[in-house]
A and B are shown apart, each in its own frame.
Chain A
Amino acid sequence: MSDIKKIKDEYLNKLDNDLDTESVNQIKTELFGKNGQISNSFKTLGSLPNDERKKFASDLNSIKEELQEKINSKLQEIEIKEINSKLENEKLDVTLPEREIKQGKIHPVSQVIDEISSIFSEIGFSVEEGPDVENEHYNFTALNTPDNHPARDMHDTFYLDNNKEILLRTHTSPVQVRTMLNGKPPFKIIAPGRTYRSDSDQTHSPMFHQVEGLHIDKDINMGHLKGCLNYFIKSFFEVDKIKMRFRPSHFPFTEPSAEVDIGYELKDGKIVIGEGDKWLEILGCGMVHPNVLKNVNVNPDKYQGYAFGIGIDRLGMLKYGINDLRAFFETDYRWLNHFGFDPLDVPSNYRGLSR
C-alpha cells in the first residue's frame, strides 16, 4: 500500500512540473505501459491474500483514476497552451479594408414613385400605366382640349409626324382616358410615368415625371379631393401638419379646376414644408369635366369625381433637398451615389416611407 501511495505522490509531483506533451506521455508509459508501475501493481493482485486483495484493488483503482485524470488534464492544459501560443503569431491587422463592396443605388425618381404608390395604396388606389407615345386624341382632344384651343399652347409638344397626330405625351392625363375607356366606373387609380415637353432650361427638362390621380364614383366631390391631397401631402412629407391652399385655376379637362400651394419656410437655405408663410405651387387638380366623361362613355349625370396631376421630380427635389432638376437625368455617378437610395430601402406602409 505504501508503495503505491509513494508512486502516486511521486508522479503527482512530477506532473505539477512544467512539462511538454512528450514528457507527459513518457510518464503515462512509466505508469500504465506494459511494464508500467501501476500495471505491474495490478499484476501483483493475484498473489495477495483474499482479505488484502480487495482493499488493495480498491486503492489501486482509485490511485489509477486519480493519476489518469491528472495526466489528461495536464495534456489538455498543454494543448491549450500550445494553441494559445500559436494564436499569438496569427494576429491580423483587422483594420485592413474588407473585400470590395459594391453598393447599388435606386434613382430618387424611382424611390419617390414607390413612395407615392405606397401612400395611395393605403387608401385603395391602384396603379395604371399608359404609353409614352400618344396620339393627339388621347393627349388633347379626348381631354376637352380641341385643336383650336389655346390651352394647347401651354404644352410644348414633341411630335413624331408632320401631321402632328402622333406625339410624346405632354402629361399623364391620357392614362385617365385609356383607363376609363377600358373599364367601368368606379375608378380609383394613380398613373405615374414619363412625360415630355420641348422645353429646356434651368427649371424645365424635356422629359420629366408626373403622377396622375383619378377617382370617379357616384358621389365624389371637391371635399374628397381636398381630403385626398391633404392626406397625400402629409404622408409624403412625413409631417403631422401641412398648410395647403387651393386656388381656382383652369385646365380644359377639369371643371372646377384648382392649383394647390403648400406652405413652406426657408431655414438655412433649405425649404421646410408645412411651416412658414410662403407658398409653393405643387400640383393641379379639379373635378373631371363632364365632356371628358362623355368622351370615355361614362355618364356624367351618374358619375363624377376628381383628377390631379403632380410633378414627381419636383416632389423629390422638395423632400430630399435637390436643387437642380436637370441633374436628375445627367447620370453623374457622383450624383447618383449621393442622392440614390439603397435598394433594400423599399418604401412601404408598415415600416414607413423612409428610414
Chain B
Amino acid sequence: MKFTMSWLKEHLETKHKDTQIIDKLTDVGLEVESFENISSELDDFKVAKILNAEQHPNADRLSVCDVDIGQQKIVKVVCGAPNAKKGLLTVYAGPGSVIPKNNMKLTVSKIRGVTSYGMLCSESELKLSDESEGITELKPSKYSDKIGKNFFKNNTEKIVDLSITPNRPDCLGVRGIARDLAAAGAGKLKSISHKNIKKDGSQNIKVSITKDKNQGCTIFASCLIKGVTNKESPKWLKEKIESIGQKPISAIVDITNYVMLDLNRPLHAYDADKIDKEIIVRNSKKGETFEALDNKEYKLDDGMCVISDQSGVLGLGGVIGGTRSGTELETKNILLESAYFIPRSIRKTSKLLNIDTDAKFRFERGIDPQSVELGLQKASQLISEICGGKISKFDIQKIKQYKNLEIKFSTSLFEKITGFKVKENEIIKILKDLGFEVSKKKSELNLKVPSWRPDISQPIDIVEEVVRIKGYENIETIEPKKNRIKDTLNKQQKLFHFLQRSVASKGYFETVTWSFTDSKINNFFKENLKEIKIINPISSDLDVLRNSIFSNLTFYLKKNLDRGFKDISLFEIGPIFKNKQPGEQLTVIGAIKSGKISRLNWNEKDRSVDIFDVKKDLIQTLMEAGYDKQSFFIRDKSPSYYHPGKSGSVYLDKDDIDPVAYFGELHPNIVKKLDIKTEGVVGFEIYLDYLKDTKIKLKDQKLNFEYSDYQKSERDYAFVVDKNYKAQDLIEIISSIDKNLIRSIKIFDIYEGENIPDGKKSIALNVTIQSSEKTLEENDLEKINKLIISTVESKSGAKIRS
C-alpha cells in the first residue's frame, strides 16, 4: 500500500514530523516497507544565479557564464540563450541530470573549446511551458534567498510503502491509515466534507441481483452520469496517481482508482450505451465466455458471480471488468457501479481463473459494505466536476442487510491477556477513535464494530486493538519460570541426537538436503515404496518426496567429486517417505563413503574404502547407542540398490523381523548410471523407528563385576567349509559349546586357493579358553579342543585342516 505524506494529510490533521509518523505506523502494526523520496531525479534542478556572463571566445551566439549554484560553489556553464546575463536567477542542471523534455542526460562537455559544467534550463526543457526562447527567469522577490535549493517543490514529497496484513482491508485506503494514526495520538482524523451533489433524474437502467444459491453479490449500487467528456486527468489527479507509481489512463478511470486508493472503495465505470437494456447480477453458467480488460478471454465455470446484461457477461463482479462495456475517451454516458461482493466468492472465482487484480485483492479481504453510497458520491461528484455530465439518483439493490456487529467486552480481559492495566476511559477513547460505538453497561462495554473492520469478531480482537494502539512497549517482561511438565527429549529424540553425533564422530560430514528429490534418481532407491509426486514442484528435477536418503546423497557425492574431492564421507539424518499420508514417514540415517583410506599417506599403504569400513562404523555406532553387539545378527539380504554380493542387513536380535540397518557397496550399475567416478562407493542406513529400547539402560545398575584370574589358554583352528558358509554361523557354533569356558573367538584368516578344494574356503580362528573356577589342565583343554572340532564338523560339515 503506497501513499504520499501529503495525501495522508488530506485525512489527518497533524503536527507530527514525517519520521514520527513513520514510527507510529510501525507501532500500530502497519509495517513500513520503505519511506523514500518519490523521484530523486528532480532534485538535480537547482535555483542558481548568473554572476557573470561573457561572450564565448569562439562563438558569437554563445556566452560563458559563471553560475552560483549555492553552497559557495561557482561553475562555468556555456549557454546559448539571449537572456543569459549577469544577475539573472534561473534553473541550473548539473552533469548527470536528465532533462525532462527530451530525457537527455547531461555530461561535462566542451562546447567550442570551452568546458561547460551543466546547463541552464528553459521552461520548455523543464516541461513547465512551451517557452523555449530563453532560459527560465525567476523572480528575485521569491528566489533570491533560495540559491542552491531544489527548484521543484514537490520533490520534498515522500512516499510511504506499507505492507498491510490480510486482516486490515480498511488500511488499503489512505483514510483507514489516517484513522489508526489518529487513534494512536498522531493527529486528528479530518471529517469527510459532504458537498450536496445535484442529482437529475433516475437511474433508468434496471438492475437486479438474482437469488441464486451462493450469490456472490449482496449490494449493487449505481448511478448514471450522462453527457460526460472523458479526457486526460487534470494535473493534480495525474500527480496523485503517478505519485504512488501508477499510470494515469483517463479521467474516469483515474477517478475510480483514486476513490479506491483513498477510501478503499472499489468502483467500476461502464459505458452505459454499451449495456444491453439491463444489468443482471447472477451466477455464471458453465461455458460462458467473456473478454476481460486484461484482453484475455475467460471461459467461466458454474456459480461465478457475473455482472451481465441481456447479451451476456459484462464482467466478473469485484474481480475484473470486460472490454465490451469498458469506458473510452469517446464515452458519453457512464454507469458507475459501487457494490459489495462476498470475499469467499471472489477468492474462489479468482483462484479458479487465476486472475489477480487490485479489486479482487480488496474484495477478498472485505470491503466496507456501508461504503457503497459514499463511494458513488465521491466519484460521481469528481466525474461531473472534471468531465461534466448530469448525475442521476442512486439506485441501490440489496439482498442482504449489513448491521454493525455488536460485541460485549469485559475490560478485565485486557489485563488477563496483556498482563498490564489500561484505564477504562482510555480503552473507550481508543475504541471510539477507531470508529467503534461504545456504551457502558455495568462492568461491560457494549461495542458496535465499525463496518470497515471485518477482522473484528470477538472480545480477543478488542484486546488486540487496544494493546496495539496503546503500544506493545507497555507490556512488561516477566522472567520465565523453570517449572517442567515433561522431559525435554523422549527416547526417540535422545536416540536421534546420539546417533547423529555418533556417526559424525566417525569422520562423516553431516549434510541437510531437501526432503524432495529427482524422481529419476529416486527410482534407483525406492524399492517397493510408492512414488510420491509433488503437484507443484519447484523444478522438474525436485518432483517427488524422497523414498531414500541415498538419492540426494549420491547426487551430492557426485557434485563434490566433480569439485575435485576424492575421499568423501557424508551422512544425513532425516525423513524418508513411505506414502503420502501424514505420518507415513521414517527417520533414517543415510551415510555414504567413497574414495580411499590413507590416500597419499607416507606411512600407510592406501586402499579403497570397502564394506567392512562402513560395517565397522555402523556396528560401532549401534554399540555406542547402547545395543549389545553379542546379540546382533547379520544377514546377507539387502535392498536391490546395494551390490548383491557385498551388502548385508543388521538385526538387533536373531529373532527380529525387521532389520535396523543395511550396509554395503552401492550397486555398480547405479554408480555407473549416476556417472559417479571414484574408487568405491559404500554406505549404510539406520532406521531409527525400528531401533527398540536398549535392554540395559544407563540408569540401571550394572551387572555384577565378575572376572577370572585363572590362566587362559589359546588354541588356533582352521576349518575348511563350503565357500558360502557364513563365519557368523561358525562363531555361533563354537561359542555355544561352552559359554563358561570359551571367552572369545577371533577370525584371523580366510583362505581360498592352493591346497583347498574348489568351492571351499578355510576359516582360521583363535579361541580363548578360560575357566572361572580353576586353572585348566592339559586334559581339560584337550577335552574342550576335541569337542570344538567334533561339534563344528558335525554341525557345519566343516573339516579341520591338519
Contact = CB atoms under 8 A, between A and B. Distances in A.
B167 A126 contact: no
A9 B601 CA distance: 61
Given A100-B601, A127-B488, A222-B417, A333 B565 contact: yes
B563 A332 contact: yes
A51 interface: no
Given A131-B585, A161-B580, A249-B31, A227 B480 contact: yes
Interface in B731-786: none
Interface residues of B, number: 99
B347 A150 contact: yes
Contact of B501 (A109, A256, A346): A346
B168 A110 contact: no
A129 interface: yes
A270 interface: no
Interface in A72-115: 96-97, 99-100, 102-107, 109-110, 114
Given A150-B347, A187-B485, A221-B417, A161 B501 contact: no
Nearest to B469: A248
A342 to B, nearest CB: 8
Interface string B576-611: 010011111100000000000110011110000000
A226 B471 CA distance: 14
Interface string B319-352: 0000000000000000000000001100110000
B107 interface: no
A287 interface: yes
Given A127-B489, A343-B505, A148 B479 contact: no
Interface stretch (B59-67, B140-148, B440-448, B456-464): B456-464
Contacts of B103: none
A249 B500 contact: no
Contacts of A210: none
B121 interface: no
Interface string B489-516: 1100100010011111111111111111
B560 interface: yes
B501 A188 contact: no
B29 interface: yes
Contacts of A250: 29, 165-168
B515 A207 contact: yes
B472 A248 contact: yes
Nearest to B603: A99
Given A97-B602, A102-B507, A158-B537, A123 B486 contact: no
Interface stretch (A16-24, A26-34, A41-49, A192-200): A192-200
B130 interface: no
B398 to A, nearest CB: 22
A160 B475 CA distance: 42
B778 to A, nearest CB: 39
A136 B393 CA distance: 48
A279 to B, nearest CB: 9
B532 A104 contact: no
Given A99-B603, A224-B480, A248-B464, A133 B584 contact: yes
B477 A226 contact: yes
A256 B472 CA distance: 10
A257 interface: yes
Contacts of B597: 100
A133 B582 contact: yes
Contact of A223 (B364, B478, B560, B583): B478
A344 B505 contact: yes
Contacts of A110: 500, 510, 512, 573
Contact of B479 (A149, A231, A257): A231
B488 A132 contact: no
Nearest to A185: B485
Contact of A160 (B343, B418, B535): B535
A109 B511 CA distance: 9
Contact of B535 (A161, A258, A332): A161
A50 interface: no
A340 B512 CA distance: 11
A349 to B, nearest CB: 10
A5 interface: no
A133 B580 contact: yes
Given A250-B165, A304-B417, A160 B533 contact: yes
Contacts of B458: 290
B509 A105 contact: yes
B582 A135 contact: yes
Contacts of A230: 477
Given A158-B534, A194-B515, A333-B509, A186 B485 contact: yes
Contacts of A224: 419, 478, 480
A303 B431 CA distance: 26
A168 interface: yes
Contacts of A196: 515
A3 interface: no
Nearest to A313: B512
B480 A160 contact: no
A321 B348 CA distance: 44
B432 to A, nearest CB: 19
B548 interface: no
Interface string A176-194: 0000000000111000001
Contacts of A198: 536-538
A289 B539 CA distance: 36
Contact of A194 (B348, B509, B574): B574
Contacts of A226: 475-478
A37 interface: no
A226 B602 CA distance: 59
A134 B582 contact: yes
B697 interface: no
Given A127-B493, A148-B344, A200 B604 contact: no
Contacts of A219: 416
Given A96-B603, A104-B504, A248 B29 contact: yes
A104 B467 contact: no
A166 B582 contact: yes
A117 interface: yes
Interface in A254-270: 255-259
A132 B568 contact: no
A102 B504 CA distance: 10
A258 to B, nearest CB: 6
A248 B582 contact: no
Contact of A221 (B419, B473, B533, B570): B419
A132 B481 contact: no
Most buried by B among A97, A150, A328: A150
Contact of B538 (A102, A162, A200, A259): A200
Nearest to B493: A127
Contacts of A63: none
Interface in A145-179: 148-151, 153-154, 158-162, 164, 166, 168
B482 A255 contact: no
Contacts of B580: 133, 160-161, 166
A223 B479 CA distance: 9
Contacts of A259: 31
A106 B510 contact: yes
Nearest to B556: A331
A311 to B, nearest CB: 14
Contacts of A287: 417, 460
A249 B27 CA distance: 10
Interface of A: 96-97, 99-100, 102-107, 109-110, 114, 117, 120-127, 129, 131-135, 138, 148-151, 153-154, 158-162, 164, 166, 168, 186-188, 194, 196, 198-200, 206-207, 219, 221-224, 226-228, 230-231, 245-250, 252, 255-259, 287, 289-290, 304, 328-334, 336-337, 340, 343-344, 346
29 contacts: A102-B569, A104-B508, A105-B504, A105-B509, A122-B482, A123-B480, A125-B488, A126-B485, A132-B575, A133-B580, A133-B583, A188-B483, A188-B486, A206-B542, A224-B419, A226-B475, A227-B479, A231-B480, A246-B473, A247-B26, A250-B167, A331-B511, A331-B513, A333-B563, A333-B570, A334-B563, A336-B509, A340-B509, A340-B510
